[in-house]
Amino acid sequence: MIAILDYGAGNLTSVKLAFQRLGAPAIIASEAGAAAACERIVFPGVGSAASGMAGIRQR
């Protein structure tokens, strides 16, 4: 299972659909426990690493 990390950036649904088209199971994870249970974690979006880390820390 792949966790797509919801930290307030990126188009999560598009990323999830792309994995589904490839036959890879994926979830959108907004809590650490859900992401920790997965084999892989994807940090979607582009931009500043600082704002991304701020979003992760807030959640």
Determine the pLDDT at residue 28: 95
For the chain, give every domain's residue range: 2-58
Sequence-ordered list of residues with C-beta below 8 angstroms from that of 56, at least 6 positions apart, any chain: 5, 7
> For 49, phi and psi rounded to 5 degrees?
-65, -35
Report the distance separating Cα 16 and Cα 18, nearest Å: 5
Q: For 4-14, write each residue's pLDDT tens digit.
A: 998 887 789 99
Over residues 33-42, the pLDDT tens digits come to 888 999 999 9
- Its pTM stands at 0.75
Mean pLDDT within 32-59? 79
